[in-house]
Amino acid sequence: MTIDIDSNDISLGVVTSGSLSEGVRVRLTNPTTVELVKVGTFVSINGKNLRFFGVITDISLGVSDRNIEYTSIENSNSFVKEVMSGTTAFGEIVVHPMLTLYNKEDIDTAFEKPVPAKTIPNHFSGVSSATEQDIERVFGSESDNVFWIGHPLDMESKLCLNIKELVTRTNGVFGKSGTGKTFLTRLLLIGILQSGSASNLIFDMANEYGWRGFSENVNEVKGLKQLFPSKVAVFSMDEKNSKKRGLTPDYIVKIGLEEIEYGDITILKELLNLTDLALDAVYVLEHHYGKKNWLKMFLALQGRDSISSIAEKLNFHEGTLISLHNRLSRIDRFNFIDKNQSHQSVEKILEYLERGIHVVLEFGRYEHNALAYILVTNLITRRIHQKYVELTETSFTQNKKPKPIVITIEEAHRFLTPSIAPKTIFGTIAREMRKYNVTLLIVDQRPSSIDGEIMSQIGTKFACLLDNDKDVDAVLTGVHGSRKLRSVLASLESKQQALIFGHSIPMPVVIKTREYGTPESYASFGLTNNQGQIEIDKQDLFGET
């Protein structure tokens, strides 16, 4: 990297006043540029000794004499306006210096990581648009662990994300429906997949990640399996539905009634409308019949009499158990539930994950069935949690840490509402599982419904357009400078734009999400876009479909 230490580019303007808390005011050199400058774009400031990296947070029109506002210059000829604009009437921008790129006095700092700015540039420091080199210094350049996620606003430079840093925390993708959450998530998943720093387990509620998805204008886009056939396995809850969509799943997930425990029922409290008393009953039933058989035995009870005799035995009100029976029997009706035996689905998933293969679990026709989604997601995650806690604990003695996994959940607020979050496994993972190498990628459209404690644990937040005040508050709670971010968040375009801030990125940034869905975009992942090859891979893996 070459660094031009002496450059004092004033192509945008010069610093005239300001403060660290409010940002520095920059008078634009060229009066005609005011309409070309946009809030949120990056600039570099050349101080006397330090080079700063900042972001434009406000744009205003300034005058040297208040009387200009009351003088009817609109009646004057164009010459008067031409002379006055840029001299007595000028454009101003407010720039927040976010990072110090390097110290000109100390050339070694030019090769170190940029640090948060703790001071501001001198008066009359030159301000120019950030160069590609500056952006690379701040966000890194594309490499194994650094993934190109999009472009800064109005710039061609690639904005990259350190995936290795990203997966060490629980992350969240938020945005109203139709703002590009799924596309952004897909990119993040590809980033994680390509970097190899973690294995993905994706609970794909709407069948959008595995084989194919759709863009809003009903163009089909490729899913992970099509792009990375050898690295991705699609597990399905519904074989028929998967085949209908042209995919032969790698594994059909079945869940034995035997595998469902008390902890898997508590999360369904709201969905099944269970009372606290009913949950107590589940606990007692589990104790009574044994962990393996309680649900099977309980659901096998036929008729009012048999239920009331159990109620009497366990000292519960008959009505409580009858309604519990009715409600739990909804679980029994799912096709993926096997009454007779337990299945090794979780073990199978873990086996794939340990081999470094990323698993997409498709829900097929249950895509709109919240009960199925939550039951299965919770059940599998609980088992993985247990396994990972064991693995990590043994790893202390064997010095071999399990491969980190990232669990992607959609409609996350259903698992993480304040009332159930403390009790569910997702709450635990969000709070402490990074120690056990398990993190979440939360995808949600109602962040305000997610428990505040969990929101505050989220490492990196990716916020697409949100306009509900509560949701905006929830996303920005506890973030430094949230007042300014709020205006940025509200002014995002409804498509392909996101605000990223938090742990894995040195400063909050608005991006235009990388293109996804065109042949060129697939090629940009370093893949040969050879449909024939993909077909061959497909046949190799699944046989003739």
Partner 1 sequence: MINNDDKEKDSHNPMGEVIESSAFNLTIQSHKLYNSPAIGSLIKCGTETVVYSIISNIKTQSLDTTRTTIALAQNAFSVEDVYQEHPQLHNLLSTSLNTIVVGYKQNKSISHEIPSIPPKIHDLAYSCTSDETLLFSQTFGFLRILRSSNNTHIDDVIVSFLRSTSMNAPNPSQLLLTAGQELARLLKDNTQRLTQLLERISL
Applying CB under 8 A, among 21, 79, 400, 419 the residue interacting with partner 1 is 79
Residues in the interface with partner 1 (CB under 8 A) total 16
68 binds partner 1 (CB under 8 A): yes
481 binds partner 1 (CB under 8 A): no
CB burial class (10 A; 0-12, 13-18, 19+) of residue 359?
buried
84 binds partner 1 (CB under 8 A): yes
Q: How far is the CB of 32 from partner 1 (least distance, A)?
A: 13
Helix (H, G, I), strand (E, B) or coil at 174: strand
Mutual angle of helices 303-314 and 276-289, in 10-degree steps:
90
Q: How many CB atoms lie within 10 A of CB 36?
A: 12
Residue with tokens 């190109």: 148
86 binds partner 1 (CB under 8 A): yes
Q: How many CB atoms lie within 10 A of CB 478?
A: 9
Q: Would you give the end-to-end CA distance of the chain in angstroms? A: 51
Is the four-CA dihedral 378, 380, 385, 390 of positive or negative sign?
A: positive
Q: Which is nearer to partner 1, 31 or 152 (CB)?
A: 31
The window from 66-74, 91-99, 314-322, 366-374 that contacts partner 1 (CB under 8 A) reads 66-74
What backbone phi and psi angles, to 5 degrees, belong to 426?
A: -70, -35
What residues numbered 424-463 form the site for partner 1, per CB under 8 A? none
Q: Which is nearer to partner 1, 65 or 467 (CB)?
A: 65
Q: Which is nearer to partner 1, 84 or 374 (CB)?
A: 84
What is the CA angle 122-123-126, rounded to 5?
85
Q: Which is nearer to partner 1, 77 or 302 (CB)?
A: 77
Q: Where do runs of H (alpha helix) occur along 239-302?
A: 239-244, 262-266, 276-289, 294-300
H-helix or E-strand spanning residue 147: strand 146-152
The window from 64-72, 132-140, 192-200, 263-271 that contacts partner 1 (CB under 8 A) reads 64-72
Q: Which is nearer to partner 1, 64 or 468 (CB)?
A: 64
106 binds partner 1 (CB under 8 A): no
- Burial track 381-412 (b if 16+ CB lie within 10 A, e otherwise): bbbbbebbbebbeeeeeeeeebebbbbbbbbb
Applying CB under 8 A, among 17, 71, 119, 539 the residue interacting with partner 1 is 71
Q: Which is nearer to partner 1, 61 or 115 (CB)?
A: 61
Tokens at 229, concatenated: 């056939």
Tokens at 524, concatenated: 């940009």
The window from 77-85, 129-137, 263-271, 385-393 that contacts partner 1 (CB under 8 A) reads 77-85
C-alpha 393: how far from chain center:
28
DSSP state of 122: P
Site string for partner 1, 24-63 (x = CB under 8 A): ----------------------------------------
Q: How far is the CB of 92 from partner 1 (least distance, A)?
A: 15
Q: Among 129, 155, 160, 141, which Cα is nearest to 53's?
A: 129
64 binds partner 1 (CB under 8 A): yes
468 binds partner 1 (CB under 8 A): no
The window from 32-40, 81-89, 286-294, 327-335 that contacts partner 1 (CB under 8 A) reads 81-89
Q: Binding residues for partner 1, per CB under 8 A? A: 64-65, 67-68, 71, 73, 76-77, 79-80, 82-84, 86-88
